[in-house]
Amino acid sequence: MSRLRGYDVCVVKMKGAKSGRVRNIPLMYVPYEKGVVLVASMGGADVHPSWYWNLKAYPEVLVYLNKKKLNLIAKQVDDEKKYELWPLICSCYPDFDAYQKKTERSIPVFNCQPA
């Protein structure tokens, strides 16, 4: 799986925050620097997706992009960096802007880069 509804998708292999079990989660992504940016939008819901908590507990992830595997560390960006990245994020998947407007929570953004 590399595209969903015409947009690029990666698979992120991460550890579950509560169970510690390995999870493979398909997510929209934004290519950035030597890694990717992930957006915990959950379609604009008022709660974070479960994978948000996984990355907070275990930030080391393996990201599958087409035929590439990237070992990355996920770091949640602050509001200033999110504001800087937002135009790039929305250029890759415009619905993120609508999702942010739909909820009062600040949708978390993770910059995932090699260690």
Question: Which CATH number is associated with domain 3-113?
Answer: 2.30.110.10
User: What is the pLDDT, as a whole number, of residue 44?
Assistant: 96
First to last CA, the chain: 26
- Tell me how far the alpha carbon of residue 25 is from its chain's centroid: 10
47: amino acid identity, one letter:
V
What does the pLDDT look like over 72-114, one tens digit per residue? 999 999 999 999 999 999 999 999 999 999 999 999 999 999 9
What integer is the mean pLDDT of 60-66? 95
SS3 category, 15: strand
Phi, psi of 111 (to 5 degrees): -95, 115
pLDDT score, position 95: 94
- What is the per-residue pLDDT across 16-55, written as a single tens digit (0 to 9) for each? 999 999 999 999 999 999 999 999 999 999 999 999 999 9
Rounded to 5°, the CA angle 77-89-27 comes to 85
Predicted TM-score (pTM) of this structure: 0.94
